[in-house]
Structure 1
Amino acid sequence: MMKILILGAAGRIGQMLTNELLNKTDHSIVLYARNGHKRLTITDDSREVIFEGDFKDKNSLIEAMKNVDLVYVNDMGNEHSTKTIIDAMKDAGVRRVISASILGIYNEVPGAFGVWNNKMIGLDSSVGSRMKSQIESARLIENSNLNYTLLRISWLYNQEGNTRYMLTKKGEPFKGTQVTRQAVVQLIMDIIEEKSDQYLKVSIGVSEPDTDWEKPSFY
């Protein structure tokens, strides 16, 4: 049994992951979010606790990390927050982290979809500053000496029951244009329960099989 900290627990994937952990494991969960007591509801007070704070509040992060075995980071869109999380983990003595990033941080998306993706969220797009932050956050995680798993997630949508995912390694071309939040949560659950070292210190692309298109189906 583990104690798992979800940073960004009020996000959609954070909430879905919480439900899966409660329903399918015996792990205890620390839910960390801004205004967490207003935005989150405890369903099992013997296994859940809420901490309020943001990702730049090192003291709150350290307090939330007490006796935690694994941290899930739901957003890496601010490199200063990522650095604070890493520093807090080191001070708290927590080594294991799963971090959600986005596709394209290594310019690894080929073909027409790569052109479209870069136009939408790449360095030259209207949200290019956020891509810069994602790139720097990934660099910080990879150089942190933590036992990290970095998830480079494709374009997200919801579909109940669709937990299909495929993975690409760092250095390989990214494949697939989309993936469900349900599949991402399934992957995180699989990583949490994995007993081998195959997910340690790796950066993996996450998408849905058979979606090698010019853009996601919902665009």
Structure 2
Amino acid sequence: MNILILGAAGQISQMLIDRLLAETSHSLVLYGRNISRRIKISEPQRETIFDGDFSEKNKLILAMTGVDVVYLNDMNSPEVTEEIILTMKEAGVSWIIGANILGIYDEVAGAFGEWNKRMVGNTSTERHRKAADILEGSGLDYVNLRLTWLYDQEGNESYQVSQKGEPFIGAQISRQAVVRLIMGILADKEKYKNTSLGVSEPDTNWGKPSFY
């Protein structure tokens, strides 16, 4: 499988790259601004780098050539999300996994829901919601990952998922656990196809993350 990682210098992206190289035989296309200066290539026969902005359509099409799955590390911009989807269609790529945020469907109740609204703000929530709507209405095969508050903890890969329309419970999730979930999606795409998943750590039904 050939996997394009958009925003390859992001923290989750870099962890995902390491996992994919260690645990699979997939080939990786790594795309981002000044990416050649921000990450190190460890397996040049499996890793291809594209330095570029998401607005550079011709470069994006080249990066998507022969790609089976796209991972988009940030869905903050509905405009960028739409451009990426249009480019995928032009390049003949049909699968995308997008990293989004919790709360876009007002699915987080109670004290944590109120805390999250104050911290994220209406503008950011609305932008992520619009990007999710574009993704889900694209006609592509997709997974929309609605991630709770992120932190790092080596060895902690515990996660739980909720479906769109279900309450979101869980104030935090390790990046390591998110990467493990993405690995699972890549290993069984049919199981997860066309889902919007709330992603959190079990037993973290608190008023805010432990690190705040």
Give the Cα–Cα distance (whole angstroms) in 2 for the partners of residues 215 and 88 of structure 1.
Answer: 38
Matches within 5 A, 1:94-133: 94-123=93-122, 128=123, 130-133=124-127
Q: How many residues align?
A: 212
Residue 157 of structure 2 is aligned with which of 140, 160, 163?
163
Give the Cα–Cα distance (whole angstroms) in 2 for the partners of residues 102 and 109 of structure 1.
Answer: 11
Partner of 1:207: 200
Partner of 1:67: 66
Partner of 2:146: 152
Residue 187 of structure 1 is aligned with which of 181, 184, 206?
181
Matches within 5 A, 1:83-94: 83-94=82-93
Residue by residue, what CA displacement relative to the aligned partner does 1:23-79 show, whole Å, maximum 9, x if unpaired? 000000000010011112111111001001122222111110000000000001011
Q: How far did 1:217 drift?
A: 0.4
SS at 2:193's partner residue? coil
TM-score (norm 1): 0.95
Structure 1 residue runs of 5 or longer lacking an equivalent are none
SS at 1:203's partner residue? strand
SS at 2:8's partner residue? coil
Q: How far did 1:131 drift?
A: 2.0
Residue by residue, what CA displacement relative to the aligned partner does 1:158-196 show, whole Å, maximum 9, x if unpaired? 00000000000000000100000000000000000116x
Contact 1:55–1:82, Cα closer than 8 Å, also in 2:
no
Partner of 2:48: 49
Structure 2 residue runs of 5 or longer lacking an equivalent are none
Q: CA RMSD of the aligned region, Å?
A: 0.8
TM-score (norm 2): 0.98
Partner of 1:172: 166
Runs of 4+ displaced beyond 3 Å: none
The residue type equivalent to 2:143 in the other structure is T
SS at 1:186's partner residue? helix
Residue 217 (structure 1) aligned with residue 210 (structure 2): yes
Q: How far did 1:15 drift?
A: 0.5
